[in-house]
Amino acid sequence: MENNLSPKKENILDPDELFNELEQKIIASGRPLSLERIRSAYEMAKEAHAGQKRKSGDPYVTHCVSAADITVDMGLDEDSIVAALLHDVIEDTNTTHDDIAKRFGTPVADIVEGVTKLTRVQYTSKEDEQMENLRKMLMAMAQDIRVILIKIADRTHNMRTMAYQSPEKQRSKSLETMEIYAPLAHRLGMQRSKWELEDLSLQYLDPHGYKEITDNLASKMPILNEFMGKIEAAIKQRLKEENINGAVTCRIKHVYSIYRKMYSQKLDMSGIFDLCAFRVIVDTIPDCYNVLGLIHDMYKPVPGRFKDYISTPKPNMYQSVHTTVIGTEGIPFEVQIRTWDMHHTAEYGIAAHWKYKLGSGSDSVREGDEDKFAWVRRLLESQQESDGQEFFRSLKIDMFADEVFVFSPKGDVINLPAGATPIDFAYSIHSHVGHHMVGASVNGRIVTYDYTLQNGDVVEIRTSKSAPGPSRDWLNIAKSGSARTKIKQWYKKERREENIIRGREMLEDELKHNNLSLDDVVDESIMAPILRHFSFAAVDDLYAAIGYGGLTANRAATRLKDEVARNSRPSKNALDKVNEAAERREQQAARRPVNAVHGILVEGLDNCLIKFSRCCTPVPGDDIIGFITRGQGVSIHRCDCTNYMKNSQNPENAGRWINVSWASQISESYLTSIYIHAKDRNGLVLDVATILNSLNAKVRNLAAHGYPDGTAITNVTLEVKNLTELKYIISRLATIGGVTDIVRNGE
Ligand code: MN
């Protein structure tokens, strides 16, 4: 491969000539494509890009023709070829979606618009998980698989002509290609595109490494060629003797695969023994195994190197059997054996289905929109049994219908439920961001809180320390359960004072309707049984619960009224006793099931195995939720546990989350864990230990760890009776000098 880094070019390309060549190629393919329509697209592109030039000096439209040429090589349908010719007109010229739709139909216009959207996605290199999200986002944005295929063709041509770009651009585009487009091509099974993209990228990402390998290969070529020729002839001869119809080819493996082996196995090139790969393509699957037998008869197989991807295809549909054997000169080499069908799929992946499966007469995928991608679905169904989950997810584009992918200002991809709003986004970053949000903008423009986020949006949240906090309306606007939970929690915790006042007023009002005043009920003899009944530690807790809506004022007032009535009578008559007994039964029925395990009541289940999750270690007083584990009973999480919030959205677990609550009488202690963030200093741990000791806290474990930035985190695992006790301990620990924050685990 020529590596011309000098951005000068002697022969400026003539676009008409280039297009004529493309036309010849289409004619030669014998496919029933409308040359008239394709030429018309070329003319539209040529006119739209008139005057624009590539960095190489070539007229811009040559790029469009070359990208279209690649889609022809991929075997894509007519609409794809037309769209490839037009793929840059929306982005770079005044042409609109409507203009294209009028001349070539809405499907073509939609594809071009899809490519344009992908082009606009800002990209920064990130860790693996983020890259995976970004690839998913591209797939989700594409909506039509052809958008991705054209984008791959576009990128392939841009990489082929990368020599004319600045070194910075060469590097960043190559990195993007290596991290996004080559993996996408791989996932779609397009080995040919993947190899080319990887080799072109490597050329710019590690020019020295690339050169070392190509030079080395060049010096070995005479020997390798002789070797390959001999083996090829021997295999052909044997097939003939055995009457098996098969094509035998040989190639040197692509540079990047050699490169990766050198680095992952820390070998120099002499240590990589199988540089050549032979391929035998036959008509039937039984022939594949017959040929395998012949090869193993001719040459000694290397143990452990036989792989049968025919019986177990790779997730991207790849099928072949591979074996490595040792040739007569002691040189090992790999042989891949497959049928023609498997070969097309291996080379062109998903695109092979246009090229080979649809047959003549139905070249475009027009018949019935619903059936458009029936083959994709069929394909995917056959994948489900193998380890195709990931492929399945990323390919079936409408699988993403319930998700939306957006960017944070830093370029992180955030995955939210479809229909999500800036409120969901803010809470997915951090609850503090949500609570302090005062405004949101999308792609630089201010939006209202109920704006529906679109794939690829860049979302920015403005926050302020003096923000009033979430409004109750947000509960209706937010789409994600985790955002709603966080908003409710805020109301419960942050607004405690307000809730107490509000709840007190609400109760007072309600009592008035029953001809009572607060003074009538605050007496210990009236209030104590009521608090016990609702499991509140103090009157304020009762008010607060009414204030945030956890308990209706009516329910509390009715109970209080009954209690007053009971107390005001010196003796109980028979009717009262009957009523009381009925009420007790009612109470017990309301508390079904009656059997609490470890202080936990599980809705609809009695005596089941209870396990407290380690990720968030809930204690009585925490809002909790149960998860039905496989074989280990119900595991209890806090509602604000990040694990729960992450997994509660997962449809796979739908139905496994179950309502649980704390029993009213709890005598046990519960193990939980907190992290004390502080400036590191001498005596810090001693201070922590002293306070814990003075509180008689039941400490099970205490571990401190200092960090280079001068901070320290002390992890305390302890047993508490309930949230009130834990909060008290935390409030006392917070008074220690240098402590900046105390968080519970799972937060
Ligand atoms: Mn382009």
| 447-484 residues labelled b (16+ CB within 10 A) or e (exposed) | bebebebebbbbbbbebeeeeeebeeebeebbbbbbbb
602 or 18, which is more confident? 18
182-191, 192-201, 638-647, range with greatest mean pLDDT: 192-201
Mean per-residue pLDDT, 495-499: 78
Q: Which of 33-42, 253-262, 452-461, 547-556 bottoms out in mean pLDDT, i.e. has the lowest?
A: 547-556
Contact 661, 626 (CB under 8 A): no
DSSP letters of 65-128?
Answer: HHHHHHHHHHT--HHHHHHHHTTTHHHHSS--HHHHHHHH-HHHHHHHHHHHHHHH-------H
pLDDT at 162 over 90: yes
Q: How confident is the model at residue 592 (pLDDT cuts 50, 70, 90)?
A: very low
450-459, 626-635, 690-699, range with greatest mean pLDDT: 450-459
Sign of the torsion formed by the C-alpha atoms of 345, 347, 65 and 98: positive
529 or 583, which is more confident? 529
pLDDT (0 to 100) of residue 364: 39
User: Residue 146 C-alpha to ligand 1 middle, in angstroms?
Assistant: 15
Q: How confident is the model at residue 551 (pLDDT cuts 50, 70, 90)?
A: confident
User: Residue 351 C-alpha to ligand 1 middle, in angstroms?
Assistant: 20
Q: How confident is the model at residue 597 (pLDDT cuts 50, 70, 90)?
A: confident
316 or 474, which is more confident? 474
Q: How confident is the model at residue 168 (pLDDT cuts 50, 70, 90)?
A: very high
17-26, 338-347, 632-641, range with greatest mean pLDDT: 17-26
pLDDT (0 to 100) of residue 294: 92
pLDDT (0 to 100) of residue 374: 40
User: Residue 122 C-alpha to ligand 1 middle, in angstroms?
Assistant: 15
Q: Find residue 677's DSSP bridge partners.
A: 713, 741
Tokens 């075997």 correspond to: 75
Q: How confident is the model at residue 186 (pLDDT cuts 50, 70, 90)?
A: confident
* Span 255-288, pLDDT tens digits: 998 888 887 777 776 666 678 889 999 999 999 9
Identify the helix (H) or strand (E) that includes residue 706.
Answer: strand 698-706
pLDDT at 400 over 70: no
Mean per-residue pLDDT, 499-526: 86
Contact 153, 70 (CB under 8 A): yes
Q: Which of 253-267, 298-312, 521-535, 557-571 bottoms out in mean pLDDT, i.e. has the lowest?
A: 557-571
pLDDT (0 to 100) of residue 167: 93
Instruction: Give the separation between CA 278 and CA 300, rounded to whole angstroms.
Output: 15
User: Residue 59 C-alpha to ligand 1 middle, in angstroms?
Assistant: 13
51-60, 471-480, 595-604, range with greatest mean pLDDT: 51-60
535 or 49, which is more confident? 49
* Span 666-709, pLDDT tens digits: 778 888 999 998 888 877 877 888 788 777 888 887 777 888 78
pLDDT at 4 over 60: no
pLDDT (0 to 100) of residue 382: 37
User: Residue 71 C-alpha to ligand 1 middle, in angstroms?
Assistant: 13
Q: Interhelix angle for 255-264 vs 207-241, to 10°? A: 110
DSSP letters of 413-432?
Answer: EEEEETT--HHHHHHHH-HH
User: Residue 400 C-alpha to ligand 1 middle, in angstroms?
Assistant: 26
Mean per-residue pLDDT, 172-177: 91
10 or 563, which is more confident? 563
Catalytic residue set: 91-92
pLDDT (0 to 100) of residue 640: 81
Query: Quick one: DSSP state of residue 620?
Result: B
pLDDT (0 to 100) of residue 539: 87
What strand order describes the sheet that includes 634-638? 600-602, 657-662, 624-628, 634-638, 610-612
Give the amino acid at 91.
E
Q: Which of 141-155, 411-425, 599-613, 701-715 bottoms out in mean pLDDT, i.e. has the lowest?
A: 599-613
Contact 698, 718 (CB under 8 A): yes
pLDDT (0 to 100) of residue 184: 82
Long-range interactions of 305-310: CB distance < 8 A, separation 24+: 305/334, 310/285, 310/338, 310/342
Across 408-556, where does the E strand assignment appear?
Answer: 413-417, 437-442, 445-447, 459-463
Q: How confident is the model at residue 635 (pLDDT cuts 50, 70, 90)?
A: confident
Q: How confident is the model at residue 14 (pLDDT cuts 50, 70, 90)?
A: very high
pLDDT (0 to 100) of residue 288: 93
User: Residue 177 C-alpha to ligand 1 middle, in angstroms?
Assistant: 14
From 84, 82, 85, select the one nearest 104 (Cα to Cα): 82
User: Residue 113 C-alpha to ligand 1 middle, in angstroms?
Assistant: 12
* Span 570-590, pLDDT tens digits: 544 555 665 666 666 556 555
Burial of 168 (0-12, 13-18, 19+ CB in 10 A): exposed
User: Residue 87 C-alpha to ligand 1 middle, in angstroms?
Assistant: 6
pLDDT (0 to 100) of residue 421: 94
Token pair in block for residue 545: 């619960």
User: Residue 707 C-alpha to ligand 1 middle, in angstroms?
Assistant: 48
Beta strand 459-463 with 634-638: parallel, antiparallel or unpaired? unpaired
pLDDT (0 to 100) of residue 581: 63
pLDDT (0 to 100) of residue 583: 65
* Span 73-117, pLDDT tens digits: 888 888 999 999 999 999 999 999 999 999 999 989 999 998 998
* Span 368-396, pLDDT tens digits: 333 333 434 443 343 333 333 333 333 33
Q: Which of 293-297, 421-425, 636-640 bottoms out in mean pLDDT, i.e. has the lowest?
A: 636-640
Instruction: Give the separation between CA 547 and CA 504, rounded to whole angstroms.
Output: 8
Contact 317, 259 (CB under 8 A): no
pLDDT (0 to 100) of residue 42: 97
User: Residue 83 C-alpha to ligand 1 middle, in angstroms?
Assistant: 11
Taking the whole predicted model, whether its pTM rises above 0.75 is answered as no
pLDDT at 23 over 70: yes
Q: How confident is the model at residue 362 (pLDDT cuts 50, 70, 90)?
A: very low
Average pLDDT, the chain: 81
Mean per-residue pLDDT, 165-189: 87
User: Residue 199 C-alpha to ligand 1 middle, in angstroms?
Assistant: 20
